[in-house]
Amino acid sequence: DIQMTQSPASLSASLGETVTIECRASEDIYSNLAWYQQKPGNSPQLLIYDANSLADGVPSRFSGSGSGTQYSLKINSLQSEDVASYFCQQYNNYPFTFGSGTKLEIK
């Protein structure tokens, strides 16, 4: 199985700041990577697919980048509604696997 190592596990930042979350795959996943946002008590919601494509309705302050085994999610100009957990997921190989998640809080 492909292991997805996500960091940091938690993050605290101020409103308006830029934050970055990293995800490393145990082997090349050819940009077959998605990022999801999960607010407390809610289902995960798709943010980014194919490593850098913004899902419909997602604010442009979210962006994804990376290739090979290294990927990142950047959130510009942090807003209060961005408080959530964020997960990466590879869909290059079965079984699909997720990162362990990053919990984002506002300072």
Residue 72 within binding range of other proteins, rule CB under 8 A: no
Piece in contact with other proteins (CB under 8 A), picked from 13-21, 63-71, 75-83, 98-106:
98-106
Residue 95 within binding range of other proteins, rule CB under 8 A: yes
- Contact between 6 and 100 (Cβ < 8 Å): yes
Alpha-carbon 32 to chain mean position: 13
Residue 37 within binding range of other proteins, rule CB under 8 A: no
Nearest CB to other proteins, comparing residues 66 and 99: 99
Residue 28 within binding range of other proteins, rule CB under 8 A: no
Which tokens belong to 90? 């590879």
Nearest CB to other proteins, comparing residues 24 and 96: 96
What per-residue string of b and e applies to 15-53 under the rule 16 or more CB within 10 Å gives b? Answer: eeeebebbbbbeeebebbbbbbbeeeeeebeebbbebbe
Please state, in angstroms and rounded to a whole number, the distance separating the CA atoms of residues 72 and 77: 16
- From candidates 45, 52, 65, 69, binder to other proteins by CB under 8 A: 45
Tell me which residues touch other proteins (CB under 8 A): 32, 34, 36, 43-46, 49-50, 55, 87, 89, 91, 94-101
